[in-house]
Chain A
Amino acid sequence: MSRKLLYVTLCIQLFVLAACTEKEIKVPLEDVGMVGIIAFDYIDKDSMKLTVAIPQYSPEAQRSTQTFSVTTELVSNGIVEIEKLSDKKIVFNQLRVVLFNEEFARQGNIRKVLQHLYRNAEVGNKVLIAIVKEKGEEMLKYNYPDKPNINFYLNDLLQPSINTAFNPNTNIHDFMYTISNPVFDPTIPFIDKNSDKIEIKGIAVFKGNQMIELITPNEALIIQAIQGKKNLAPLDINMEQGHGKEKLLIDLVENDVHIESNKNMHSPKLTIALTIKGTLSEYKGARENDLFTIESLADLEKDVNKELEQDIKKFLDKLNEWQVDPSGLSEYFRMYHRGKWTTEKKREIISKVAIDVQVKTSIISTGTLK
């Protein structure tokens, strides 16, 4: 009896109490503006221009993307400003790409902005980052006549694919990982608008929080190879090894890298052994008509090895001169170092490391035509 009474009073209380809560305002899906791309342009030390692109699903609108720009000092403040302009509630759940312009990358504080997004639980960790040459705002507002929507276009362009395997596909986690890890320097793909298209021009190399140099796709491919990435892009080789100018393209089937350090902080030495297996898909040069025998192919392999060794060495020396380590080579010293590893140690190691590169190429086929 008493139990029944208890339940009844409880129920009554619950019903009565329900009136006390404020009705929650839930935004229906149609009224949510899901930001697909956000771009930051540098204005001066304190302020930046923030542009967002939101897919427009209304059939009555002329364009398939809504864009808003505001000038702001803080990211979240900018979002509040944009909400004032927008007819929808701005959310970041569908954010795919973050753009910075080159000036921002060279002078602004990218880490601060990205750390803000990294903290935000709405934003996934797989949001891709790219550096834009001129202005991110322009890139988002431009009308690409043969592309459905800038949101999809940019995202798809930056996604991993075999022919752009030089692209590190930096996402927010990668950036935070490389910038906070004292054995790395971040790399971010660099894109530019080329009339009606957007093109991945190369890779921006950072020194700490600042972009310092732009490297070519071929050089960026070396970084990927050293990091042990599988499925690399086709190797485009221009060489001059005693047979005049030669040009060849090797489709990679398999690649493997083995790096060893001498564990010595005072006279650091690294040995990088790279093994490449691939198909010779095209050749242009003096030996065009002799490449039918195994011997001549072996000769070619040797020349390719030499050329690649030279290229890689030249590129790594360049990086060492800049004192940056985008491929994390100093990890091979940190592994054997007792004590705390710091960025200064990385710069020191990288500026004086002696690198020995050994490439072993094997051309496993040349196609089915003799």
Chain B
Amino acid sequence: MSTGKSKKKLLNAYHVVFLAQSVMIGTGILSLPQQLSSLGYSQALMPLIFGVIASVTLYPMIWINSKFPNDNLFRINEILLGKWLGKCINLFFVIQFLVFIAGIISNYMHLIQSTALQEQTITGPVFCFLLLLIYIVSGGIKSIARFCIMTFFLTIGFLYFTHWAFEKGDMSHFLPLFNFFSVNDFYEALKRGYLSVLGYELVMFYFPYIVDQKKAFRHSLIGIWISILLCFITTAISVMYYSEWQLEYVEFSVLNLFKAGEFSFIERIDIFGITLWVFLILSTVAAYLWCAKKGVETLVSKKSNVYLYILVAIIFFVVKMPSSREFQDKLFTSANYVGYMLILWPVLLMMVYVLRKKKQVQV
């Protein structure tokens, strides 16, 4: 369909694994134990359930993409749903991505402000962050993938810093298993917590760039389960270390896990954690921004780097919006819930695809 096919194939197996993995880990995991707190101690196993859901929902994504090996989801929308409906949906997705990105950045900056830089406004840090973001995204999906790999190996060392909390924690908190009482609690935890594992759906956008598309499912799955494992470790250690009250009220519980220990030469490891976390945020946001840019390019059927700057300007505006925090919060949470729609979207496309196929056969 498009020209220069060989030039387009950029992502090898490692890129695919770590793109799926790093995009999933963003700010969500920092407050995951809190998001799941409606389940109390029983939340420990929740990430594993998320993993199963993620694996199941990954399948339709790869399936629909494998039918159009050279097109991303934006193009597929236009092909399957017609030009105008497709464009409307695409515009909706782009807006959702932008608000989602703004939500992540604002969330992280809020964290920075309340812990590391208490006496400053966040305009400066946001500006620097966005500059860096432009730099990464303008390198294309391959540079993002490489950044993701670097991020993983730079930040995986944090696991070590949780061992104090593990030693101090109490294994008996895991019992009794599945000790929650209403479907409502479960649904609440699912709704608020699943956000932390969002990110793997972007495979629908970079799929055309994957070299070995037949194995894309397996590689993405590996990435997903690495992240799920990290989420599981997080919730398990939090459950051991905290009381149920603390799980519910401590806002960034992962950072408090880092606070549990100290070295003789450094006391506040959580501050290191916060500042290094910027890598994880960058890798997540960069991938989303790249997708948004692709979306705009499909919308106007023209390729240019200018869109990137425009998008970043919009994000900056949304983050620094002069509206109340309450409105912002509502906006960001609704963007998150719309994000869930994107997970189920391919199922709909699958149905459309099958219906059209049938029609074609009949004709």
Contacts and interface: CB of A to CB of B under 8 A. Distances in A.
Interface of A: 24, 26, 121-122, 124-126, 173, 176-178, 180-182, 184, 331-332, 335-340
A181 B176 contact: no
B97 interface: no
B172 interface: yes
B246 A124 contact: no
Nearest to B305: A3
Contact of B259 (A126, A180, A338): A126
Given A125-B259, A125-B260, A173-B260, A180 B246 contact: yes
Contacts of B242: 177
Contacts of B244: 180-181
Contacts of A177: 241-243, 246
A335 B173 CA distance: 7
Interface string B292-329: 00000000000000000000000000000000000000
Interface in B220-248: 241-246
Nearest to B251: A119
B243 A180 contact: yes
A23 B175 CA distance: 55
B181 A121 contact: no
A124 B267 contact: yes
21 contacts: A26-B119, A121-B115, A122-B118, A124-B268, A125-B256, A126-B262, A126-B267, A173-B256, A173-B260, A176-B243, A177-B243, A178-B243, A180-B243, A180-B244, A181-B243, A181-B244, A182-B243, A335-B172, A335-B176, A336-B176, A338-B176
A176 B246 contact: yes
Contacts of B259: 124-126, 173
Report which residue of A124, A178, A337 has the largest number of chain B beta carbons within 10 angstroms of its beta carbon.
A124
A125 B256 CA distance: 8
A156 B109 CA distance: 37
B179 interface: yes
Interface of B: 40, 114-115, 118-120, 170, 172, 175-176, 179, 181, 241-246, 256, 259-260, 262, 267-268
A26 B118 CA distance: 12
A339 B120 contact: no
Contacts of A126: 259, 262, 267
Contacts of B241: 177
Contacts of B118: 121-122
Contacts of A180: 243-246
Nearest to A331: B172
A212 B264 CA distance: 36
A293 B318 CA distance: 83
A91 to B, nearest CB: 10
A124 B176 CA distance: 32
B179 A338 contact: yes
A159 to B, nearest CB: 12
Contacts of A335: 172, 175-176
A126 B256 CA distance: 11
Contacts of A331: 170, 172
A24 B262 contact: no
A181 B245 contact: yes
A178 B242 CA distance: 9
Contacts of B262: 124, 126
Contacts of B243: 176-178, 180-182, 184
B30 to A, nearest CB: 14
Contacts of B176: 335-338
B134 to A, nearest CB: 12
Contacts of B120: 24
Given A180-B244, A336-B175, 9 more contacts: A24-B120, A121-B114, A121-B115, A125-B259, A126-B267, A176-B243, A177-B246, A178-B243, A339-B179
B267 A339 contact: no
A180 B242 CA distance: 9
A339 B114 contact: no
A103 B177 CA distance: 42
Contacts of A340: 40, 181
A163 B119 CA distance: 43
A276 B181 CA distance: 42
Those 5 A-B pairs whose CB atoms lie nearest each other, nearest first: A180-B245, A181-B243, A335-B175, A125-B259, A121-B115
A177 B239 CA distance: 12
Contacts of A125: 256, 259-260
Contacts of B268: 124
Nearest to A14: B127
Nearest to A183: B243
Report which residue of B114, B241, B243 has the largest number of chain A beta carbons within 10 angstroms of its beta carbon.
B243
Contact of A24 (B115, B119, B181, B267): B119
A207 B36 CA distance: 30
A335 B170 CA distance: 11
Nearest to B269: A124
A122 B114 CA distance: 9
Report which residue of A121, A122, A332, A336 has the largest number of chain B beta carbons within 10 angstroms of its beta carbon.
A121
Contacts of A24: 119-120
Contacts of B172: 331-332, 335
